[in-house]
Structure 1
Amino acid sequence: MSPMSFPIPDDMAESLSRLARDTGHSESFLVLQAMREYLQRESWQIEEIKDSLRELKAGNVASAEEVSALWKKWGNSAN
Structure 2
Amino acid sequence: MKSSTEKSMTVRLPADLAGQLEKLMQATGRNKSAITVAALRDYVEAEAWQIQDIEQGIGEADRGEFASDGEVNYFFAKYGG
What is the TM-score normalised by the length of structure 2?
0.83
Alignment partner, residue 27 of structure 1? 32
Q: Which amino acid aligns with 2:45?
A: Q
Residue-pair matches, total: 76
- Tell me, in whole angstroms, the C-alpha distance in 2 between the residues paired with 1:69 and 1:7: 50
* 1:18-42, Cα deviation, whole Å (9 max, x unpaired): 1001111111110111000000000
Rate the CA distance shift 1:67–1:6 in 2: closer, same or farther, 3 A.
Answer: same
Alignment partner, residue 56 of structure 2? 51
Q: Which runs of 5+ in 2 are unaligned?
A: 1-5
Query: Which structure 1 residue ranges, 4+ long, deviate > 6 Å from structure 2?
Result: none
| Percent of residue pairs identical | 30
